[in-house]
Structure 1
Amino acid sequence: MLPSSMTSAFTATLGLFSLTLIYICYHAANDVRLTVSPQGCRMSWMSPSYLLQHEFNSSWTPLAHRYSLWLYREVGWDPNQVMGVPVLFIPGNAGSSHQVRSIASSAARQYFSSPFVISSDFTGRGIQPLDFFAVEFNEDLSAFHGPTLDSQIEYSSAAIRYILSHYPPNTRIIVMGHSMGGIVGTALLPSDDISALITMSTPHTLPPARFDARIDEIYRRNAEYLVNDPTPVVSICGGATDMMIPSESCILPDAGDVNPGSAIYRRTIFTSALEGAWTGVGHREMVWCHQVRWRVARAALELGGANSNVDMAVILDTWLNRNGRLIPPATSIDISEAATNEALPEDMNLVLKKPAGFRTYLLPIPRTLETNTTFVLFVSRGSISSIGSQHSTRLQASPYFCVGRATSPTIQQYSESLSCVPLEPSTLKLLPSPIPGKPFPVPDEGSDESDGVVLFEATVPRIPADVEDAWIGVHVNAAGEDGWVFGGFDKTQTLQSDIGVFDILAGGAKLSLQSVEQSSMRRHITFPKLLSNALLIYKLTPRSAEPTVSCAQPILPPLLVHKSHPAETHYYRLEHDKPVAIHTHASAPFIPLSRFTPSHSSELWIYSSGTGCQDVNEFILTIDWWATIGRIATRYPTILISWSSGVVALLMFHAWRESGKGSMPSVQQSLVTFICRPMPKLLVASFVVALLPLSPGYYLGTRGESFLGFLAPVLLVVATGLVCVSWWFILLLMWPLRLFTRLLPAKSRQYNDQGMSRSTVVSIIFISLLVFLFVPWQIAFIGCWLIHLHTCANSAHRKPYPGSAPSLRSTPTESLPLRERFDGHEQDTQDAETNEIAPSEELEIQDMRRPQGLATITDTLDIIQAHHENTHLLLLMTWLLPLSMPVLAVWVRTLMTAGYTAPFNGDHNVFKVAPFLVLVDCTSRRKSALLSHGKAGSYLHWGYLIVACVSFLLGSREAYRVFDVASLFIGCALVVKFSPVRFARCVAE
């Protein structure tokens, strides 16, 4: 055994290390949202008014006295009465009905060009304005409490029935949900009354707080609805800037697996890929960010004119995830409509700066062109087909596939010999156009999508054998606007790199790019062996060749596009020696994999207008350790709670095993023993288990990724350090309680070591009834913790009899295994050195070897044993508190907002807290240990090992199971301690 000074140094060092690491992780997590995906959102402005729906009362739902329903009206734009398509907005955790104002205001101001004047975009299309209703949940903390979610689901369902009662039959409603409001909206499915569901920053696959089994049950039901229900669903995610939820949990299950036109439409889109936004968006900012609310409102307006789920899928895909599906049908055109036609030589790109007038430019398709060659066209500040920026100019370009001869200089002969049809794109979307010298994504106000560049990609059709000449025609309609057109044939250069995550640990890996041809407009780079996980952030540093004097600035500087998932795309401006953060949410802890989320692979595209002064010829790839630490810190807070509970369970396993030998160690001794003996072995075992290909619902949730295996030992060390810190906190709390107890007059107290007293049974029955009828069981558990804290503080200086000696002068930190010594058993040398007795105490002990003295020492040792047992139990209960405290906040919030008479559904399971009610009452009335003595003590310690296994394996994903298993074990131990015969006898007394 080590001296007590060294043992204190052990625990102090470990505790301070854990606190320091948590402090570092906290700051790293705060920096992630600023460096990895900075938010750039323009503010939204509105003139709101809210009309309370008084008629939606208790005749519709008994929850009407707790919640309310409001109708939003834009002052000066909307009439007070309903007049269009109904929309229900559902706020999230601690959200407000007033959050509807940004999207509702945008919808009104898009539909009306001026007050009560319909915009030309909607005139004659049969599209009606939107009537936005919003439910008010009084800022309930629904993320922590399943019954609260159930109440919100019930109220929202009744609200839909009430809203539709004011509209013609067969009217359907659009549902929007923010955060946990999206979970409520999903739970309303299946429903014939809901036409579409749009969620924003909603954690669909992983609850943000995993302390309630009923939340998991709601999630399981929602997963079934998302698989089987045909209602179109779109999820908009905020990305790395959203610090409230793990952004990967926002991805709908198998998002991208179903497409418009199929029976089921599911689509996830990150705001970094949302055209016109191209930025991360914070959790709360999601509802007011102008770049987001504008498109959500426009999509909802277009949905009002849809007639089927297929039409709705096309509309949602167009306005929230454009990909070129709204292309006009292929029809031939009369080329003679053009004012001038030009035939360009082979291998020349189409470059038009500030084009003017109407022209059709022809690019000949060479016979030697390779199969699957792509025609690429860029249009800045204009549009291609139906795709353009929000405030695009009159510059329009239309690509065509043409066949025939174009040798005559006259328009008449030219038009007779040339036939053209629209070219069908494979990609048609809006790209950002970063401004040189400025950061991108643009912080604060964000990018202006009017500066965006439309990208058109199409596979060049095969030229029939009987056709002599084939062309790509680009019909440009311009009026001298400040824009440009750039296009040509592209032979995609694909570079496959074998760089893996271990290759860049030694300082980074270098990737050399091939030289760029004059006609090359895109380069493709793949990393099939690179680990792609939400926990890892890479730093990609571009290197450019030294510019020559004659080089020209390209009209489209190199733009890096990182696409790791169909839902997620990130854009970066490439500049020499300016690193960019490559990150993803495709694969992440506790999230099931699908074929769209490979754990390895990363894909980069570089778009540019060819060679220039900013050409990139080399990349340096490293790990951004600071950002990676911040990302890990936001993914594993729950694991520290469950693993700390597991460490305490292991401490108790050791302590109870030692108690079977006649000596219960103190908490300080248990901590030191754990750190010095089993902990090194557990660190190795934790790393080995992390390498096993476990299901994502177990342990670290990383599916055995070798590089992430190091997280397990680090988390175990931090959890152990937090247990040490929690013990200091407990001692700090017991110190004033102990002083206060000493100041009170001494009272003789009757102890009962035989069983439970009648008053104990009566008090437990009363508290159980109180829990069953009024308060949640979590409140009773907090009361149990407070009572047991007082018991431990009081037992720290308890005397066996008034005036007897020796007494405990302070909180014991060393065990005194003297019982065996007086029974004739010898101590080993190590224990004897540890438990040295002062000379003055030896005299007292010698006097106590008489029968009366031996009895006094036995009582003293029993009190020490009981104190050590109680403090171990207090430490366990302390780490079970975080699993129950969130419900206390929910309960207090409900009482404050809904009134003290509002019923609090659920959480009245008396059996979860009953073992602790019996435990704290019995320990407060006993002077000897309750659970660590007797024959039962020889095998009860195995129960703590079971609690530890559940904490480590299941607690990370399902933290509520830790409390359930601990409560079950305490109950079983009490049943063993108090047999039914003994229980009946003590009640009869």
Structure 2
Amino acid sequence: MSSSITFSLILISITSALILLVVLRSFNDNLYALDLDQFSGPSVSLIGKTEGGARGDGAGSCRMAWMNPVYISLSHSSLKSRLKGKYKAYLYREGGLDPEQPRGSPVLFIPGNAGSFRQTRSFAAATAKLYHHEKNSATAGTRSVPLHTAPEHPGLDFFALDFNEDLSAFHGETLLEQAEYANEIIAHILNLYTNSRPINHSGSIPVPTSVLIVAHSMGGIVARKMIRMPNYVNGSINTIISISTPHTLPPTTLDRGIETVYNDINQFWRKSYFERSPLPNVLKDLLLVSISGSTSDTTVSPDSSSLLTLAPAPYGLTFYSTAMPEVWTPIDHRAVLWCDQLRMVVAKALLAITDARIPSQVKSLEERASILRSYLSSGHGLRLGSEINQRIPNFAFDPISHTLHSPLARIKLDSGELNRPEAFVHILPLKEDNSEVVLAFDAFTLLTNLPLATHLDVLACNGTFKIDRLGSCKLLTTQYSTTLPSSHFHLQPSSVPGPNDEADPHDVFNFINIPRSALSNSDFVVLLTSTSHPSLKDPTFLISEFRTENTNQRIDASLWTLSLWGINLPNLSRSSRPSLVSDLYLPGMDSSVLAFKVKVNYPSKCEAEATFAPLMRQQTPILNESKLHPNIHSAILYTHLSTVYSPIPRSLNDKSQSGIKLTFWNDPYACEGGLDDENIKLSIRIDWYESARKIILKYRTALVAMPLGVVSIAFALQIHYFRKSGIFPSLGFALSTLTERYLLKALAVVVGVQFLQSAILNASLGVGQHHSTDNFLASSPTWISGLLLGDRHPSFAVLDCVFVVVGLGWTSLAYVVIHLICVILSKLWPTLIGVSDTAKAKKQSTLHSLSTSGSRRKFSINTMALGGLILFTTFMAPYQFAFLIVLLLHLFQTLRILAVNDKTENRNLISIESSNQFHYYFSILFIMIWLLPGNIMILMVWIKNLFTGWYKPFSSDKNVEYVIGYLFWFWMITNQNRRMFSHFEKRSFLNLIMIMLLGTGLFSILYGIRYTFRIFDMFNIVFMFIALLHYNSSSYKSHSG
């Protein structure tokens, strides 16, 4: 009984180890590495193919950023702050460009977890260089770039906070301190401009009343918490641009302080925007922007960066780097701060939304939202700046300079037809001759590599071209356009840009999609190409067509069906005639937990004769999230749409909004044909590696919660056998018994709970679409939404069971490893644990031979030591320090008992009580080791503060009651000479402890992933009751009486 481990438990352990290897491999796949060595803009490789993993493939790769940083420390002499001895602030100056005195619009950079104030240099340098380049070009009259700033714009001043690289992701009080200090620094920064603005600008530009926030990672949470702090200066924050910030859920749930901060800010946001109440003043003009690096971010789950359930547009905007024009690549958690493409796009947007002529320093909320969309979503602002042409170009009618096509004609123009010395018009009628009815079509689509507005305009006109010409036309060039990465079969390698080099402009495609509704009152469409220019890249092309519904397909397969069987599509288009654009809707692919792999096969004619290589975009419509794949052959499909542990948007009832939409661009002239072997074929299968990575990234706390649930139930089984037989079995035996007798029952309970949760969550979602922001979210009580994986899909019951089984396997592996380590340590250091020779071991092996003459003296010493530890924890250290001390002392106690038993020559002298004692102590040690991760994080924060010279204790972690159970238990067993409690007395008390352990185990499995920090509190209560059991045992009374 003491060491029995069954075959089934061994099999589960081996399977769990293999799953762990798969997960580790998914994080170290070479195909997932960023494509840094190519530097080919929106390309992927020298052959142009998009293949391999999910993180490195796609339409881009990051270029290195260069800067010349100078940091000026801000004086704290006039700052009244209790934290000025711990934190600092700096003003960034770009060497050779920025003057020492601040004079522009203030921007404050807030670093994230373990982040540095120096991380501001990338964005600050980009804005400085861009600003001075534009001003110099405008002054010299040689503007070669679109202006992103007004002529009177004074530029931006970047300030940065130095938080000593605090570990803010693991400690709520650290977040609160950072928010408090950031508010004080903002007030200090605004005071700086009372002197600098009048001196530099003769009072023509007002003194700023607010600061624009740029925050990385947990810095975004700090920024949101700032407006909830008592020292917040009203109106001092109106724009927060967060980068890789986990807004909806904390990255770990090991600290109650982090949970408190998240609950406060998220409830405030949701109640303010989605409930029937007046919008608070602090949010009326506040724009919150979230930028995510998508799947390359393995530090923060990209799903939690979405603002979908926190703030509606225009108050909350979410952008993914894979969808950003001229970025088009996933970026990891650190690289988002130096990726050259991203920083340039953000720098242009920052300059465009600021306006120093206004005291708030930014444009109106609606203008800011519109500008950010144009820069970070459509790409219009990047190419055209503030000069988007809204005027119809002058055009002198010439019979030779136009072509009249047949109604709804598909046309293809090459370089010879586009690079004309004069402007040219292509006329596309929407009606038959002598007809007043617009012909049937869904949308007008156009793909080209011509620059829009400057070399190509699209107009919708009324009347007839010969009579009305362009007099009754409206311009639609940019309103319905999207910038896409170019897609080529073969690419030339690009040189790596150096610190003084300008990156070459991206070679992009422009796609225009005008819906029928926008053309319903028009008679014809005009394509107006301007005169040829040397800047046009050769070869140029233009393909346009009028789409029909046959270019759209929808496959209503459930997530379960997609996961098991996948999809095989023999023909991408429902018609025999290929289309320029084809859409495939997969509404069932609506979970961010799983990833799929798509493979596309094209006819050989497509690759041999096409003007451009096939291009694919995967998109989640409800999130405006997308990723582009040039020269698509295979790619990973995923979505960041997540309703895990959060309210569910009712718009998910609209199947056109949920799931994934795939859009394919092909050259229809090269791919047309009707035979089966000439069709574009597509297959989709689940990607196990990427799915494993996403699951662990999202549910990483399951690595702690599930084993704690398993060992808690196993400990209850040990006490059950001890109560019945007087023999305390090993933890290995308890795990084997749990596997053989109770595992299937436990899995049945988990499946039933998942089905119940899914039914309630889907019922709360209701039917029909939302019609206002008041019923946009479907909320459920936390006791439902916080269960298991927090997902509404009933098919996730399978994944729940996998977590439980794998948790059991990992617990068993950990048991073997920790037991082996204890055996080795007990043999290596016998003198350290108090065993010096065999005779002493024999003497200590029989508990009745232990002397009790000094028990009262020992009782006093132990009480004084415990009191000292409590005082030190109360006034100096966090309570996690006391837990660590108890764990280490108990480790030595366990090793001592093991060494005593091991040193006994006659194995018969090892009494049942000695064996019981070791198994009992080892189980307690095993539990405490699994409880250690959350406590270690807080201790790291405390130790780091000590090294930086900050000795003030945490006010939130001085509560000794959080560890009083562990302390009382250790005090009791120490005063009992490490004896076991009796198994035949207080059986009702034993039953109560068993019930508490079973409840703790059940909570850990059902709620532990979401509320991991509460497991520590529950075990604290359990340890208190075990200590009371020791106190009431007859063995204790005999020793203390």
Alignment TM-score, normalising by the size of structure 2:
0.80
Q: For residue 375 of structure 1, what is the amino acid of its counterpart?
A: F
Aligned partners of 2:398 and 2:149: how far apart in 1?
30
2: CA distance between counterparts of 1:430 and 1:70?
Answer: 38
SS, match of residue 929 in structure 1:
coil
Secondary structure (helix, strand or coil) at the match of 2:101 reads: coil
Specify whether residues 283 and 506 from structure 1 end up closer, same or farther in structure 2 by C-alpha distance, changes over 3 A only. closer
Q: Does the 8 Å contact 2:972/2:1027 carry over to 1?
A: no
Asked whether 1:103 is paired with 2:160, we answer: no
Alignment-derived partner of residue 295 in structure 1: 345
Q: Which residue of 1 aligns with 2:424?
A: 359
Task: Name the counterpart of 2:333.
Answer: 283
Q: What residue identity is the alignment partner of 1:957?
A: R
- The answer to whether the 8 Å contact 2:599/2:634 transfers is yes
CA displacement at 1:744 relative to structure 2: 3.2
In 2, Cα distance between equivalents of 1:68 and 1:751 = 59
- Paired residue for 2:690? 627
Give 1:875 shift: 1.7
How far apart are residue 282 of structure 1 and its match? Answer: 0.6
Q: Tell whether 2:114 aligns with 1:94.
A: yes
Q: What are the within-5 Å matches in structure 2 for residues 314-333 of structure 1?
A: 314-322=370-378
Query: How far apart, CA to CA, are the structure 1 residues paired with 2:465 and 2:822?
Result: 95
1:515 shift after superposition? 5.9
Distance (Å, rounded) in 2 between the aligned partners of 1:979 and 1:795: 23
Report the equivalent of 2:474: 421
Residues 786-795 or 358-367, more deviating: 358-367
Once the two structures are TM-superposed, the CA of residue 784 in structure 1 deviates from its matched residue by: 0.4
* Superposition pairs of residues 630-669 of structure 1, within 5 angstroms: 630-661=693-724, 662-669=726-733
Counterpart of 1:671, as a letter, is L
Equivalent residue for 1:33? 32
- Where do 5+ consecutive residues of structure 2 fail to align? 34-52, 195-206, 229-233, 273-282, 356-361, 673-677, 762-783, 845-849
Are 1:562 and 2:615 an aligned pair?
no
Q: How does 1:189-208 map to 2 (within 5 A)?
A: 189=227, 191-208=234-251
Task: Describe the superposition over 1:663-690 as per-residue Cα deviations: whole angstroms up to 9, x where unpaired.
Answer: 3222232222222222233234334433
Match of 1:399 in 2: 458
Contact 1:405 1:418 in 2 (8 A): no
2:310 and 2:508 map into 1 onto residues whose CA distance is: 27
Equivalent pair of 1:538/1:583 in contact (CA under 8 Å): yes
More moved, 143-152 vs 860-869? 860-869
Cα gap change, 1:613 to 1:457, in 2 (>3 Å): closer
Who is 1:232 aligned against? Answer: 287
Aligned-pair CA distance for 1:548: 8.7
Residue 71 of structure 1 deviates from its aligned partner by 0.7
Distance 1:750 1:704, change over 3 A: farther
Q: Which amino acid aligns with 2:295?
A: A
2:870 aligned with 1:768: yes
Aligned to 1:826: none
TM-superposed CA distance for 1:182, in Å, is 0.9
Structure 2 SS opposite 1:186: helix
| Conserved 8 A contact 1:869-1:932 | no
Larger Rg belongs to:
1
- Tell me what 1:793 maps to: 895
Match of 1:593 in 2: 648
Write out per-residue CA displacement over residues 260-305 of structure 1, whole angstroms, 9 at most, x where no aligned residue.
xxxxx21101100011111100100001101110111111111222
The answer (yes or no) to whether the contact 2:826–2:899 under 8 Å persists in 1 is no
1:178 shift after superposition: 0.4
Please say if residues 216 and 242 of structure 2, whose CA atoms lie closer than 8 Å, have aligned partners that are also in contact.
Answer: yes
Summarize deviations over 1:177-228 as a string: whole Å, max 9, x none. Answer: 0011111111123640113110100000111121111111111222145443
Letter in 2 for 1:293: R
Partner of 2:102: 82
**CA–CA separation in structure 1 for the residues paired with 2:78 and 2:933:** 36
Contact 1:30–1:630 (CA under 8 A) maintained in structure 2: no
Q: Aligned pairs, how many?
A: 906
What is the rounded CA distance, in whole Å, between the counterparts of 2:1006 and 2:883 in structure 1?
A: 24
1:305-704 mapped onto 2 (5 Å cutoff): 305=355, 306-322=362-378, 335-336=395-396, 341-346=401-406, 347-349=409-411, 351-353=413-415, 354-356=418-420, 357-367=422-432, 369-370=438-439, 373-384=442-453, 395-407=454-466, 415=469, 418-423=471-476, 427-437=480-490, 450-460=506-516, 470-480=524-534, 481-482=536-537, 483-492=540-549, 493-504=551-562, 508-511=566-569, 512-514=571-573, 520-528=579-587, 530-547=588-605, 552-555=609-612, 557-575=614-632, 578-587=633-642, 589-595=644-650, 601-613=659-671, 617-661=680-724, 662-693=726-757, 697-704=785-792
CA contact (8 A) 2:945 2:951 kept: no
Q: CA deviation at 1:541?
A: 1.3
C-alpha distance after superposition, 1:381-414 (max 9, x if no partner):
5124xxxxxxxxxx5222112223334xxxxx76
Question: Which letter does structure 2 place at the counterpart of 1:693?
Answer: Q
Aligned to 1:830: none
How many Å separate the matches in 1 of 2:512 and 2:603?
Answer: 29
2:359 aligned partner: none
Q: How far is the alpha carbon of 1:475 from its aligned partner?
A: 4.7
Residue 888 of structure 1 deviates from its aligned partner by 1.7
1:764, distance to aligned residue in structure 2 (A): 2.4
Q: CA deviation at 1:918?
A: 1.6
C-alpha change, 1:682 and 1:593, in structure 2 (3 Å) is same
* Aligned partners of 1:563 and 1:570 also within 8 Å: no
Distance 1:931 1:117, change over 3 A: farther
Instruction: Give the alignment's Cα RMSD to 1 decimal.
Output: 3.8
Change in 2 beyond 3 A, CA 1:687/1:444: farther
Distance 1:948 1:283 in 2: 34
SS, match of residue 36 in structure 1: coil
Q: Tell whether the 8 Å contact from 1:440 to 1:573 is kept in structure 2 after alignment.
A: no
TM-score by length of 1: 0.84
Instruction: Give the 3 Å change call, closer, same or farther, for CA 583–516 of structure 1 in structure 2.
Output: same
Residue matched to 1:136: 162
Larger CA deviation: 443-452 vs 509-518: 443-452
The whole-number CA distance in structure 1 between the counterparts of 2:441 and 2:904 is: 80
- Quickly say closer, same or farther: Cα 1:338–1:700, change in 2 above 3 A: farther
Q: Runs of 5+ in structure 1 lacking a partner?
A: 260-264, 385-394, 408-412, 799-807, 813-837, 845-856
Equivalent position amino acid for 1:198 in 2: I
Counterpart AA for 2:82: P
**Which residue does the alignment assign to 1:410?**
none
Sort the Cα spacing of 1:122 and 1:641 in 2 relative to 1 into closer, same or farther, 3 A: closer
Partner of 2:66: 45
Structure 1 residue 71 corresponds to structure 2 residue 130 = no
- Counterparts of 2:972 and 2:160, CA distance in 1: 51
Q: Structure 1 residues 454, 752: closer, same or farther in 2, change over 3 A?
A: farther
Contact 2:598 2:682 in 1 (8 A): yes
| Higher fraction of helix | 2
Deviations 1:319-355 (A, max 9, x none): 2223779896976665438896413221142524242
Structure 1 distance, partners of 2:1008, 2:979, is 33
Equivalence for 1:721: 809
1:388 maps to none
% same residue:
24
**Distance in 2 between the 1:441 and 1:418 partners?**
45
Match in the other structure for 2:780: none
User: Which residue of the other structure, out of 789, 795, 798, is the alignment partner of 1:707?
Assistant: 795
Residue by residue over 1:703-734, the C-alpha shift from the partner in whole angstroms, topping out at 9 and shown as x without a partner, is: 25243322223222222222223333433443
Contact between 1:538 and 1:623, CA under 8 Å: does it hold in 2?
yes
Residue 477 (structure 1) shift:
4.7
Residue aligned with 1:272, SS: helix
- 2:875–2:953 CA contact under 8 A, matched in 1: no
Q: How many Å separate the matches in 2 of 1:517 and 1:811?
A: 86
Using the alignment, how far apart are the partners of 1:463 and 1:151 within structure 2? 56
Secondary structure of 2:459's aligned partner: strand
Determine if contact 1:381/1:450 at 8 Å carries over to the other structure: no
1:876 maps to which of 927, 932, 936: 927
1:953 aligns with 2:1001: no
Q: 1:240 to 1:333 in 2, by over 3 A?
A: closer
Distance (Å, rounded) in 1 between the aligned partners of 2:629 and 2:492? 9
Q: 1:862 and 1:464 mapped to 2: Cα distance?
A: 90
The answer to whether the Cα contact below 8 Å between 1:645 and 1:876 also exists between their aligned partners in 2 is yes
